[in-house]
Amino acid sequence: MGRLSRWLVALGVVAGIAFFIWQKTRPSPLEVVVKPVTRGVIEKTVANTRAGTVNACRRAKLSPSIGGQIARLPVHEGDQVKTGDLLLEIWNDDLIAQLNLTEREAAVAEAQARAACLSAEEAGRQAKRAQRLFRNKVDSAEQTDRTVTQAQSLQAQCEASRATELMGRARVDVARANLSRTRLVAPFNGVVAKIEGELNEYVTPSPIGVPTPPAIDLIENNCYYISAPIDEVDAAAVRVGMDSRISLDAFKDKKFTGTVRRISPYVLDVEKQARTVDVETSFARKDDFKNLLAGYSADVEIIIASRPDRLQIPTEAIIDGRKVFVFMADEQKVHEVEVTLGLANWAFTEIVTGLKEDQLVVVNVDKPGLKDGVSAMRAKESP
């Protein structure tokens, strides 16, 4: 019995050493970050490749059509103006005097025309009386002819005077048009963004081919839209009227809803950049305008399609477009599973077949050593 006991003790020692060596040399379980398969609304979306821009629905960079010295500048940068408000006026005393002169000339022509036509009316009545007397053989043919001819002559003078009156009115219109060229008025309600020039300074219109800064930059501040570049590959699926989500760096915690209102009819090819199509998105609610400023950077996510109550997983969990790793908590292993995918966006992808709700999929698929059947443990940061 003593010898057998010694053998049993030796065997136990060898077994313990072998178990210790196995424990030390076997691979450690991989730590994997997992996410559950959930059910909800899944969307296919496209987004801009570079930052978009908040633009005013209307923006006018105004300059007078003639050069001259600034005589009136009743607005300042930041002022709210209404349609028709005077923004700038060039010295125009000579044109005002010219307008006054043409208005008086037109008044004289009108009075002369009225007098000539009154004389023509009187001559016409006399001609009719002379013709009645001639028919009654009271007056001579010669006298009657002279009276009728006189009436016709005065009627022609009346018509000539009326033409002169119309010419005078046309001269007044020309003088007013010349005067209006010295005044800038607001074409719409908005805010004065920039003014180039001061009182008594000279402004000149831009020569052909040589742009100069506008005298006044007017921005409509009660209507905005987003213009964003969409990659040419994604732009083919975008249609006017599609819903979209808008995010702005200035309002990080707020999402705006919008609608695609216009798709550029051509592809923008900029050197060293991907070819893109400019897509314009309008805001769904006018209440969103009150805190916006033209020029804010913005991102747009356009919803191409949407399906409710669908299985979905994080897009980052998908391998080669058709496989995922599923973590089996009871086995402490991961298994490779083939899946059929549906709609997808940068965050989530629809699962048509291959997975069930609440299964756990591995999202850190770039983990070294990750393969089918490998031992794994759930990382602490996994929810």
Domain 47-57+220-307 CATH class label? mainly beta
pTM given for the model: 0.68
- Same-fold call for 28-41+308-378 versus 47-57+220-307: no
Which bin fits 111, alpha (ψ -120 to 50), beta or left (φ > 0)? alpha
Burial of 331 (0-12, 13-18, 19+ CB in 10 A): exposed
Angle between helix axes 141-180 and 93-135 (nearest 10 degrees) is 160
pLDDT of residue 382: 47
Contacts of 362 (CB under 8 A, 6+ apart): 32, 33, 34, 317, 324, 325, 326, 327, 334, 370, 376
Question: What letter does residue 383 receive in the DSSP assignment?
Answer: -
Question: What letter does residue 139 receive in the DSSP assignment?
Answer: S
pLDDT of residue 25: 53
Tell me: the pLDDT tens digits for 130-150?
A: 777 767 766 677 777 777 788
Which CATH fold would you assign to the domain 59-88+184-217?
OB fold (Dihydrolipoamide Acetyltransferase, E2P) (2.40.50)
Evaluate whether 68 touches 90 at the Cβ level (below 8 Å).
Answer: yes
pLDDT of residue 355: 92
Question: Any idea which residue has 């980052």 for tokens?
Answer: 316
Q: What are the sequence ranges of the domains in the chain?
A: 28-41+308-378, 47-57+220-307, 59-88+184-217, 93-180
Contacts of 36 (CB under 8 A, 6+ apart): 357, 358, 359, 360, 361, 383
**C-alpha–C-alpha distance, residues 299 and 256, integer Å:** 10
Closest by CA to 118, choosing from 169, 161, 147, 166, is 161
Q: With a cut of 50, list the residues of the chain below it in pLDDT.
A: 382-383
pLDDT of residue 318: 93
H or E stretch at 104: helix 93-135
Burial of 206 (0-12, 13-18, 19+ CB in 10 A): exposed
CATH for 28-41+308-378?
2.40.420.20
